[in-house]
Amino acid sequence: MESLDGKTAVVTGASSGIGRGIAKGLAEAGATVAVNHPPNSTEAEKAATVVDEIRAAGGDAFALEGDVSDEASVRAMVETFESAHGPADVLVNNAGIVTQSPLAEMPVEMWDEVMAVDLRGVFLVTRFFLPGMLDAGRGSIVNVASQLGIKGATELVHYSAAKGGVITFTRALAREISPTVRVNAIAPGPIETDLLGDLSEEWRAAKEAELPMGRLGRVEDVVPTAVFLASDDSAYYTGQTLSPDGGDAMH
């Protein structure tokens, strides 16, 4: 049974959606969890609610502000965390955004925005948490990618490219820093969260029809994989991508 007693964990983009679920799952397994959120009042309120929910369930958590796409903000976030808790034991790079457009019509700004959060954000957060983890001689990094990083999707070329980059980033970094720190990825299928809110109903219906499991995923379909990869139960896993995706990619 997975146990994270005495461990500290950082989950980016944890104020809602998959990140919220992972933060609660890690806390339930015993970790003290930093609930990261972007620097705006709405997300801060959401993060505070997640912290309250974790504490009400007997866990330990606190909010941690930081824009994963901004170097100065990430540096400040890492300094805040490490000054109080030392190096992180677990880092979950979950923060992400998705928009929809055919590539031939895609504004350059749309491409840049998705890359800034979904790929650059993984690099920046890992870059500045990693030295402490290496110095401590331990740690597990879990990157939340997507099944679209494996198979791609129409009108989601930018998102697919960013998530494919996360998967390759995971493999390359695992070769670089294992066994000191393990690095793995999760490639969920389409999950019922606010992140799907900007996608068309036609897209949703078509996706449900093609999924072997016949439905979109739920956050609780993803959380156990994250807790497993964070814990010592996955001690012989590194550079891997696990896919709770309803059979969408089957890689």
Active site members: 159
Question: Which residue stretches of the chain are H helix?
Answer: 17-28, 41-56, 71-85, 108-115, 121-136, 148-151, 157-177, 201-210, 219-230
Contact 132, 178 (CB under 8 A): no
What does the alpha-carbon distance between residue 185 and residue 199 come to, in Å, rounded to a whole number?
24
What does the alpha-carbon distance between residue 107 and residue 122 come to, in Å, rounded to a whole number?
23
Helix (H, G, I), strand (E, B) or coil at 92: strand
List the strands of the sheet with 182-186, edge to edge.
60-65, 32-37, 8-11, 90-93, 140-144, 182-186, 241-242
Helix (H, G, I), strand (E, B) or coil at 62: strand
Residue 210's nearest CA partner among 156, 158, 242, 250 is: 250
